[in-house]
A and B are shown apart, each in its own frame.
Chain A
Amino acid sequence: MTANKRLKTLGWYLVLAGLGYLFLFPLLFMIVSSFKPESAIFTDLYSLRAILPVGELTLDNYQGVFDKSRIGHYFLNSLLITGGTVVMGLFVNSLLAFSLSRLEWRGQKLILSAVIALMIIPLEAVVVPMLLLVSQLPSLGWEEGRLVLEGSWMNTRHVQMLPFVANAFFIFLFYQFFRDIPKDFDEAAKLDGASPFQIYRHIIVPMSGPVFATVAILHFMVMWNQYLWPIMAVQSEAARPVMPGIQIFFGRETKWGEIFAYASFITLPVLVVFMIFQKRFVRSLAGAGIKG
């Protein structure tokens, strides 16, 4: 390597490191501040100390969070809602994509165009009609040993799950991946006596690990970060997930340390999930890039 080249490499590293810190800054600030007393957060605010774990460190903020809110309960709700939706979503979205990419049926093209068109409609655009809809939908329930229709979908966990199971973007991701798997596999399996569902289950799914990992991560993040919809559809404590739970800390006496502690705590699962799947995720994104 010539000196010139080495200088260039060094330059690039500096730029990348700089950008890295820039993006890392809010995260570090949040985590570090969650361990600081309220006063220290503000005195450190305009120096580098803001993102360094220095000075007096304490767990008081976390104590406060657990005392004031039912964060454990919200957390469990979020886990159930997110986990359930992601699992159902992987199945439903990949199955539709399979049917679109590998089977032949009337109206297939139309459905595919509809899926693609749906990708550009944001939640905000449909959220009000959706709310009206779910408020009218009855739930099934047991009463005195009989199946009855009761109440509405409001204030439940399933109202936070079912509307988000099918997702046009994830269907499209699956579709693109499946489309590139040679048809010979399906035909060989068909001759082996496999039904379409068995082809999906035994051939296509096992060959599609990377796209399942990618969609699982993305869907997890979407679901974990749900805010607008739970605020609208859930007023009760019982079904509340973590994100709207942060609201109770904004009041007459806002304590930023506790807000940071709460935020840090609920960010944790996202980081864990990402680290578990990160390798496959990155690989599949890189692969997608090459295929263009």
Chain B
Amino acid sequence: MADLQLEGVVKRFGEVQTIHGIDLDVTHGEFVVFVGPSGCGKSTLLRLIAGLEELSEGDIRIGGESVAHLPAAQRGVAMVFQSYALYPHMTVRENMGFGLRMAKFDKAEIDRRVEEAAAILKLEPLLERRPKALSGGQRQRVAIGRTIVRNPKVFLFDEPLSNLDAELRVQMRVEIAKLHAALGNTMVYVTHDQVEAMTMADKIVVLRDGRIEQVGSPLELYLNPVNEFVAGFIGSPRMNFFECRVLDVADDRLRLELPGDERIDMPADATGLRSGDRVTLGIRPEHILEHDRADIRLAIDVEVVEHLGGSTFVYARHIGGDAITLQVGGLSDIQPKDHRRVSFSRQICQLFDGDGRNISPHKVPGELKDEEPGQAATA
């Protein structure tokens, strides 16, 4: 069993602290995805686990044993780099076997393992080629193959697909998922890509400025983001936010004034709020309906319409002046310059207090079905 545990992990580069005390438990076989804006410390955290950076404080354990003082090669981790970092002067076979060669495996064993990994990744016909003579997707596979042969406890990926075109990305995403299913190892994966995070992860870790904002399953993060940052970060297109004024406070309800004077009642944890406070209402583009029969209605001026075939993106302005994005299923008949009334269910929207903390009731996937469902749950 190779659980991965981070405990109070801190990293400073000279005076500058970039990772501020991270605690994280990953159970054996989990696929964990780190997401967060550029510069939030995803790569640094991965490199700390790999042993390419030295911990400033805290501890990292793999399979229960502290690896903080072990050199990279002895931690039982393998890493796929964004640049692949395939050795240009070696053939695919030599690239994949290099780690074993350094570990003084005998030639027959190296060949056996390399060929086994090559079979999994369909690299057999390419074994004698140099990286220069490979396509992007093939290089990617070799980079993965190089990690497989070492049979690591934990796989680390730093944005491995970001150099591939869209189609290949989808293909490789599926292959990595399959690989995970087949090998069953713990994998830690860094990405910018929403879709990768949502589709591949057992567990998503949202980072901001070297701190964890939230850890949870993709659906949990999607339905119950702990704060405005996570709500805005998870999901694509981005969640719409409206600033509202609190008119009246009851224990588990708030009466709000939406921009444009509409007044609504919202279920919420209202402790600490008083009338006159400002709160933020969040609603995902895919949860806004084209008609006005749901319980919160908005009047919008349509600006741009994008037809993607399977769905339609509508960029509009709300009476209050805020930009608002809608994602509706299929080919919508909404036209630019339309004035329309759209609506959404109060059950599915989020409410954040002045500090960005989510104060709306916890949502469970099943319950939402009672109300009029939005479109597909994930983008």
Interface 1/0 per residue, B250-267 and A, CB below 8 Å: 000000000000000000
Q: Given A203-B87, A207-B88, is A188 in contact with B102 using a C-beta cutoff of 8 Å?
A: no
- Distance in angstroms between the alpha carbons of A196 and B146 in the assembled complex: 20
Q: Looking at the complex, which of A48-56, A63-71, A179-187, A228-236 is the stretch in contact with chain B?
A: A179-187
Tell me the number of A-to-B contacts counted with CB atoms below 8 Å: 55
What would 25 A/B residue contacts be, using CB atoms closer than 8 Å?
A: A182-B83, A184-B83, A185-B85, A185-B87, A187-B52, A187-B79, A188-B81, A188-B85, A189-B102, A190-B72, A191-B52, A191-B73, A191-B99, A192-B73, A192-B98, A192-B102, A193-B73, A193-B99, A194-B102, A198-B102, A202-B98, A203-B87, A206-B89, A207-B87, A207-B89
Identify A190's interface contact among B73, B88, B89, B150, CB under 8 A. Answer: B73
- The interface centre, meaning the residue of A191, A193, A206 with most chain B CB atoms within 10 A of its CB, is A191
- Interfacial residues of chain B within 33-73, with CB under 8 A of chain A in the complex: 50-52, 71-73
**Option from B79, B83, B87, B89 in Cβ contact (under 8 Å) with A191:** B79
Shortest Cβ distance from A181 into B: residue = B88
Extra inter-chain contacts (15) besides given A187-B72, A191-B50, A191-B52, CB under 8 Å: A182-B83, A184-B85, A187-B81, A187-B85, A188-B81, A188-B87, A188-B146, A189-B98, A189-B102, A191-B51, A192-B99, A193-B74, A206-B89, A207-B88, A207-B89
CA A193 to CA B70, docked complex, whole Å: 12
Could you say which of A182, A193, A194, A206 contacts B85, with CB atoms under 8 Å apart? A182
A89 to B133, CA, bound (A): 34
Question: CA of A203 to CA of B89 in the docked complex: distance in angstroms?
Answer: 8
CB-contact partner of B72 in A191, A203, A206, under 8 A: A191
A 197-222 contacts with B by CB, 8 A = 198, 202-203, 206-207
B212 within 8 A of A: no
Q: How far is the CA of A203 from the CA of B102 in the complex (A)?
A: 12
Question: Is B78 at the interface (CB under 8 A from chain A)?
Answer: yes
CA distance A190 to B70 in the complex (A): 12
A40 to chain B, nearest CB (A): 54
Chain B residue with the shortest CB-CB distance to A186: B85
Does B108 reach chain A (CB closer than 8 Å)?
Answer: no
Complex Cα gap A18–B35 (Å): 65
**Bound CA span A191–B53, Å:** 12
Find out whether the CB atom of B77 lies under 8 angstroms from the CB atom of A191. Answer: yes
Q: Which B residues are in CB contact (< 8 Å) with A190? A: 52, 71-73
* CB proximity of B99 to chain A, nearest CB, Å: 4
Complex-state Cα separation, A188 to B142, whole angstroms: 13
Shortest CB-to-CB span from A235 to chain B, Å, is 47
B86 to chain A, nearest CB (A): 8
* Binary interface encoding of chain A residues 156-179 relative to chain B, with 1 for a CB under 8 A from any of its CBs, else 0: 000000000000000000000000
A189 to B50, CA, bound (A): 12
Question: Which residues of B lie under 8 Å from residue A191 when comparing CB positions?
Answer: 50-52, 72-73, 77-79, 99
Q: Do B89 and A184 touch (CB < 8 A)?
A: no
B146: chain A residues within 8 A (beta carbon): 188, 192
Interface centre among A190, A193, A194, A198, by most chain B C-beta atoms within 10 angstroms, is: A193
- Tell me if B182 is interfacial: C-beta within 8 Å of chain A: no
B16 within 8 A of A: no
Cα A280 to Cα B50 in complex, Å, equals 38
B166 touches A (CB below 8 Å): no
- Docked complex Cα distance between A187 and B79 (Å): 9
Nearest CB in chain A: distance from B103 CB, A: 5
**Chain A contacts for B87, CB-based, 8 A:** 185, 188-189, 203, 206-207
Contact with A along B181-195 (1 / 0, CB 8 A): 000000000000000
Look across to chain B and name the residue whose beta carbon is closest to the beta carbon of A207: B89
| Chain A residues within an 8 Å CB radius of B102 | 189, 192-194, 198
* Chain A residues whose CB sits within 8 angstroms of the CB of B89 once the complex forms: 206-207
Chain A residues with Cβ under 8 A from B79's Cβ?
Answer: 187-188, 191
Expressed in whole angstroms, the Cα–Cα distance for A184 and B87 within the complex equals 10
Contact between A184 and B81, CB atoms less than 8 A apart = yes
Q: Name the residue of chain A whose CB is nearest to the CB of B73.
A: A193
User: Which chain A positions have C-beta within 8 A of B88?
Assistant: 207
Query: Which residues from chain B contact A203 at a C-beta distance below 8 Å?
Result: 87
The chain A residue sitting closest to B99, CB to CB, is A192
A residues in contact with B50, CB < 8 Å: 191
Residue of B nearest to A203 (CB): B87
Q: In the complex, A192 Cα to B71 Cα: how many Å?
A: 11
Q: In the bound complex, how far is the Cα of B52 from the Cα of A185, in angstroms? A: 12
Most buried by A among B81, B102, B103: B102
Q: Cα distance A161–B50 when bound, in Å?
A: 44
- Complex Cα–Cα for A184 and B89 (A): 15
User: Which residue of A192, A194, A202, A206 has the most chain B CB atoms within 10 A of its CB atom?
Assistant: A192
CA distance A194 to B81 in the complex (A): 17
The closest CB in chain A to the CB of B83 belongs to A184
Q: Give bound CA distance, A189 to B98, whole Å.
A: 8
A182 to B88, CA, bound (A): 12
